């Protein structure tokens, strides 16, 4: 996952992922930031920018999991049939 933020003025903030406390990246007095991390997830992710005390949510973005997992199986052959 690659997250990028930008502001019109310098900010002190942290990027966190809800329910994944081990992922956190903070900036002190920056107007932009980029953070890349490898993450595996099976539920929707919510990525947030918070103040450095983590009390206030400044921005939030959800990443949805596409749930249509198709299953496949082998098709029978019918060499006797007229239908191929």
Partner 1 sequence: MHTTLRKLALLLLIASCNPLPAGAQGKCTAVSPDCVAVGEWDLSVALGAGVRTNPIAGRADIPLVVVPQLSYYGKRFFLDNLEPGFTLHEGVANTFNVIAAPGYDRVFFSRGDPQNVLVSGPLGSAGGGAGGGLIPPEDDDSPPTYPNHRRRTTYLAGPEWLFSYGRFAGQLSALYELTGRHHGYEIRGALSAPLIQTEHSLVANAGFTWKSAETVRYYYGVKGLYRPDAALNPFVKLGYSRVLSGRWTLSAFVHYEYFSGEIADSPIVSDPSVVTAFVGFNFKVF
> Given the rule CB under 8 A, which residues bind partner 1?
70-84
- Kindly tell me which of 9 and 76 has the beta carbon lying closer to partner 1: 76
Joined tokens for residue 14: 């942290």
Cα–Cα distance measured from residue 81 to residue 50, given in angstroms and rounded to the nearest whole number: 65
- Quote the least distance from Cβ 81 to partner 1, whole Å: 7
Cα–Cα distance measured from residue 4 to residue 39, given in angstroms and rounded to the nearest whole number: 16
- Kindly tell me which of 53 and 72 has the beta carbon lying closer to partner 1: 72
- Quote the least distance from Cβ 50 to partner 1, whole Å: 41
Nearest residue to 30 via CA among 57, 48, 12: 12
- Quote the least distance from Cβ 38 to partner 1, whole Å: 24
């Amino acid at each position: 996952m690659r997250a990028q933020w930008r502001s019109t003025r310098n900010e002190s903030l942290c990027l966190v992922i809800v329910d994944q406390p081990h992922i956190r990246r903070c900036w002190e007095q920056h107007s932009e930031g980029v953070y890349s991390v490898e993450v595996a997830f099976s539920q929707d992710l919510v990525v947030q920018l918070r103040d450095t005390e983590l009390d206030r949510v400044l921005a939030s973005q959800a990443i949805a999991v596409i749930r249509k997992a198709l299953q496949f199986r082998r098709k029978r052959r019918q060499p006797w049939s007229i239908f191929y």
